Structure 1
């Protein structure tokens, strides 16, 4: 699996367990100490194991960068002062992202792909950094290094490991740590703290007056957001920390300011390096939406900072309709065309931005080339919402559109040299994993931009995909003829392994760098040739948790009462034999999902060829304590023939849980009287509902959840309707409404400063108060300084201790129910 981290395409060597959420302070139980507790062994030792490095193949395909990273940070690091402003969290010490929002990298080793030689980056001892970004020529990596008073821009030579600072601690990463290389690899575009910036405003001891907001001009149906501006003092802090000076740092160490300082959310070179596309926020600010919806100007600058073309001047966007297919009016998703020197591309709604308005054309995609003086050309008209372009060359690009209501996706082949027309090449339900044809494989071009890879015949592109089937995931490489539609499979992962493509070593795809794992061997990188030769290992990362090597797992399938096919992954502790040893206490850990097609909702994908080890606060650690785990049992909420899925949420959720319980009991791996249910975020919401509406479980664990949907009145999760459009559904779905029916013990955990939309800590606080008032058995744990995902070593350890203690008391060692 690959993911983008700070501008570098990284291959993660292991999957880390999810972290957790927020809440207010609560009184301790009588006699209980205010202290973090350690989970039992071997959980504590596994948590303290050094993480597996991340890896990235350089653009020139000659070197691999291995990034070492820090383990779980101490809570003292999260306790550094944090400002929460306009949807962002930042550390005022270094004007960068708050510590809870990032994982620090601690070193780089460059590995030659062909001969295996390694060179370590000569970074100072104790270095930690973010945003590593390859130069287009693959010779260097730029990064932002943490310093006592700020973030420094550094560059590392990939051949020698030599590292040096290009700037002092002047980088401004409050709105993001993006770095952009010039196409000649000679300079880096970044955002700096304006020279001569005055000290930060001091907080007001006493306000000058009340904070007043007023409405009545027009509807503003905004969803719930966290970390918003709340008063004039917040506005002054926002101006201070987010005002940045766009600058170019040459590899010779010269720093050139570009234009005037402003609150800059984005900035990027054109592929030819001549122009800069910039988005700048301007007043008036809002206390109802984050900064990305504030009034903003998007413009093209030359390298002196002069504005040569204004692409958009957008007002405050607090009135976007609630449906998910709704968008703001005006240009959006403005970007540079990747395969042209300097061409702007953007989309504009043609239906007023409201999907409820009948329209034949929903979005129009425009192009405009330098010098930006002509009229924009229409690249293509879309019947769905624009979802991006995969660029290839002057006569071939693929435009993707999506429509949430139907879960439909359309991919259209367009000819940018002859805009205005297109040919549909894929039309599908984007939730249908079994029939995913794959996506165009992209590689960086000379300017460092991702473009499609064409075969030697000039008509075909390479495709990559997960290859999900009922029997498993078998990633593939294929060739697709864009003219005829003929598809030829070139390679597919073997049935005993899960092997994904990291990058190409040969343009035709005949040599690849892949990331391979099996059920029993951890993920490592290797060189694979399609001529049948044995692959050459590039890395040898060890098992990060050998204590779990004997755990067994299998995909189980079963059927819901209404005929929907369900599945889950059953894990059993090392050495357990159900026939010999009998049933175990079992934990079901799940997360519901909404579908419009029951056949897609019931799709099964066996992950038995994946290497699985828990990390963070993963529920899979319970396997070390004598519990069986049914992981991710299907909880589909299906709406058929236009019906809203959530109108029968409780009924479908309960039926899915009942089918799962029946399945594990019938297998003899679980005792019906000793099964717990748990989940995180929407899974916590699920857990509370199952305890309120069924008696299937002895207890539940609900982490970072939302329990009262009237507090998210303009939609939540996959619910598009407002509270006033679906009052009964909101009420029926809220476990808070039925707190008096929760007659099983429940453990609530929440991060003190949860940053996730909708899961404000008050959700757990009020639900706990309702449970307490109705006489339920409940425990409420608040993790200081933690957001929606738990980061600190103390927090993660304590969460796992709470889970083990709670389950031991209420499942493993609980007396039989009457």
Structure 2
């Protein structure tokens, strides 16, 4: 029988800490390349090198690179004021004052009020606020409440904005028991927070404001129901989902793409900016959600072409995510892409060349089904042309003219390479290769990608396996499952390029846990995105599933060929939707999962944000909501469970965990609870949180005594 690993020591804890995300940042070079394109296709980027941060300017025509120690001149904020939005012609800025929308003439300073009846519960050009700025837990400029929510028309004549109405909407209250300024009395912060099934929710009525005439025109659309704080009007053109509302180039029309409550109907409207009149261009309804991307967090794959005569539309109607061309005058629809593979994102449309550039997954046989590859697809018929045949998944950024693109490609088990290509896919030059020598020199190895068979006995699912740097194949290791389970994203990274981005923090947290004497896995079971509609819809109305049957099957399959995996000692952890799923794992699979750490879990979907829950659990709210609440199954707890929640969690209210605690107490179950004052939903990198999660697995899964240790925080972000 293989021996077990020794109990974690302070040396092991120190080694684990060295792999936390904020420490790895200084040990990985050449990663995270984000081109900043100029109008002439030149671009720049910054990169971490062994000599320090460097700034690179590139001429794509020649492939020449100029490297500097100093950043290029950045465009200053208009007037040095983050609370205004400048018009395209630069003559005016829009701003909010006393709940009304104003404009200021930049040259003269003259100010004009465009609206006159704004009030606190019905303001203009304002977002539903998060409470964290008011609570002093986020810097004001991280969520600029005073920045007007407006979209200028291209000709600078009009503003597209909205008027909020939060009267009668349901609210949550956060209680700040230990205010950072040392105040003795707790403080409370109340904010709008719609729950699934709420009849009265905040709304946003879209408006077009003629700046010259100072007139306000309501659009002939129902007010948009706001099912979470923020704004339905995308003011950052680079943000995910930014193409849900946009202007036509002539400034006389705009387009609105909106899901109905429950997400089973998606509609695209054309709006006459002068009259507010609307007409439906395309509408689709299905029995399960109609999405405009492979994931709800992706940018909509909808484009209006031919001056409004055609619409490029995204649909899962044939079982896969594909593009369809609607010819509106002719009343015809033609499928542009087809087959057992899926379009991921529209990168660029080339109307003159009658083509669209897309990233897609699963089209090339023998490849990782999650490899993103770039294709040029003819709009008028023909096969897609593969432009990135290189091994691995590709992150793409295309130049303004469409003549060039930058690709960062990598497998999950290889270092990313960033290259500059011409539009036909030919290589111009290699820009950067990620250097991880500082990690491999201390014994670190890339994760191992594996495949396993799903519960249907046919479908291939994938995951990664993470080993400690001092891995010994003759040792029998406890296994820790790092889960998310939210159907809008995968847990296992598709390539190592993702690991080197900010969203790769979860991977390094898993590596740190492995260093304490565990093998960690990340698995994507049925119900997750980026595959077929059938694969995805397993989770619809069924969030309690979380792909957990595949997790169990995959680990058992792995253990048959990897005797170092000790399936008598399996733990699990997760945050947010992963907090729900990790707790659900202990309740639904108590014979398999013995130890769990559940943080910020949305344990009862009746208490979570309506926009996310109604999309995945369905609307109206049914009995299945109650049945799948963790509190309903609290009596089934057998393993060692640690619940963690930030008291000031603005996303998943702490009540979600405390309601579960109430049920566990009623069921007379033993568990551990940690409430973190002044911690928000983004508490997963909190050093005390990290150490307590480590200790729980060392004590209850490895059977050891945790070493006294204090984790160093992320000074860069603190």
Q: How does 1:245-264 map to 2 (within 5 A)?
A: 245-247=101-103, 250=106, 257=112, 259-260=114-115, 262=118, 263-264=124-125
State which of 116, 132, 135 in structure 1 corresponds to 2:65.
116
Partner of 1:302: 210
Aligned partner (choices 687, 692, 702) of residue 582 of structure 2: 687
* 2:160 counterpart of 1:270: no
Q: CA deviation at 1:63?
A: 3.9
Task: Compute the displacement of 1:522 (Å).
Answer: 4.9
Structure 1: gaps of 5 or more residues:
1-37, 70-106, 123-157, 173-178, 195-239, 321-332, 357-361, 443-451, 596-600
Matches within 5 A, 1:178-257: 179=85, 182=88, 184=89, 186=90, 189-192=93-96, 194=97, 243=99, 245-247=101-103, 250=106, 257=112
Question: By how many angstroms is 1:673 displaced?
Answer: 2.0
Cα distance in structure 1, aligned partners of 2:497 and 2:593 = 29
TM-score for the superposition, normalised by structure 2: 0.68
Count of aligned pairs between the two proteins: 590
Q: Which residue of structure 2 lines up, in the alignment, with residue 323 of structure 1?
A: none
Check the 8 A contact 2:583/2:596 in 1, yes or no.
yes
Partner in structure 2 of residue 478 of structure 1: 375
1:474–1:493 Cα contact (<8 Å) kept: no
Tell me the residue number matched to 2:256. Answer: 346
* Counterparts in 2 of 1:368 and 1:520: CA distance versus 1, 3 Å: closer
Corresponding residue SS for 2:658: helix
Unaligned runs of 5+ in 2: 1-11, 119-123, 127-148, 172-191, 195-199, 229-242, 293-299, 706-718
Tell me the alpha carbon deviations over residues 597-618 of structure 1, each in whole angstroms, 9 at most, x when there is no partner.
xxxx9x9999466563552683
Distance 1:784 1:733 in 2: 28
Question: How has the CA–CA distance of structure 1 residues 575 and 414 changed in structure 2, closer, same or farther, with 3 Å as cutoff?
Answer: same
CA distance in 2, matches of 1:44, 1:676: 22
- TM-aligned CA distance change 1:814 to 1:664, over 3 Å: farther
How many Å separate the matches in 1 of 2:703 and 2:291?
55
Q: What are the within-5 Å matches in structure 2 for residues 559-574 of structure 1? A: 559-560=453-454, 562-563=456-457, 565=459, 566-574=461-469
CA distance in 2, matches of 1:647, 1:295: 25
Partner of 2:388: 492
- Equivalents in 1 of 2:698, 2:575: separation in Å? 20
Question: 1:501 deviation in Å?
Answer: 1.9
Retained in 1: the 8 A contact 2:413–2:447?
A: no
- Superposed displacement of residue 258, structure 1: 5.9
1:743 paired to 2:655: no
Could you say which residue in structure 2 is the equivalent of 1:718?
A: 616
User: Which whole-Å CA distance do the structure 2 matches of 1:61 and 1:796 have between them?
Assistant: 43
Separation in structure 2 between the aligned mates of residue 306 and residue 108 of structure 1, nearest angstrom? 48
- Alpha-carbon distance in 2 for matches of 1:653, 1:283: 37
CA RMSD in angstroms comes to 4.8
Seen in structure 2, the aligned counterparts of structure 1 residues 554 and 751 have a Cα distance that, compared at 3 Å, is same
Q: Is the 8 A contact 1:396 1:413 kept in 2?
A: no
Q: By how many angstroms is 1:651 displaced?
A: 7.9
Equivalent of residue 584 in structure 1, options 460, 463, 477: 477
Pairwise mapping of residues 86-101 of structure 1 onto structure 2 (< 5 A)?
Answer: none
SS in 2 for 1:500: strand
The 1:568/1:55 distance shift into structure 2, 3 A limit, reads closer
Within 2, Cα distance between the matches of 1:290 and 1:335? 23
Shift, 1:165, TM fit: 5.9
Provide Cα deviations, 1:259-317, integer angstroms capped at 9, x if missing partner. Answer: 24643143112123322212122574634555995354422223336126331475695
Residue 809 of structure 1 and its aligned partner are, at CA, apart by: 0.8
Provide the TM-score with structure 1 as the length reference. Answer: 0.61
Aligned 8 A contact 1:586 1:629 in 2: yes
Q: Give the secondary structure class of the aligned counterpart of 1:273.
A: coil
Partner of 2:698: 808
Deviation at 1:438, TM superposition (A): 5.2
Q: Deviation at 1:492?
A: 1.8
Cα separation, 2, equivalents of 1:611 and 1:317? 33
Evaluate the alpha carbon distance shift between residue 780 and residue 505 of structure 1 in structure 2; reply closer, same or farther with a 3 A threshold: same
Partner of 1:685: helix, strand, or coil? Answer: helix
CA contact (8 A) 2:412 2:447 kept: no
Q: Deviations over 1:723-751 (max 9, x none)?
A: 5x32xx44442332332331211111112
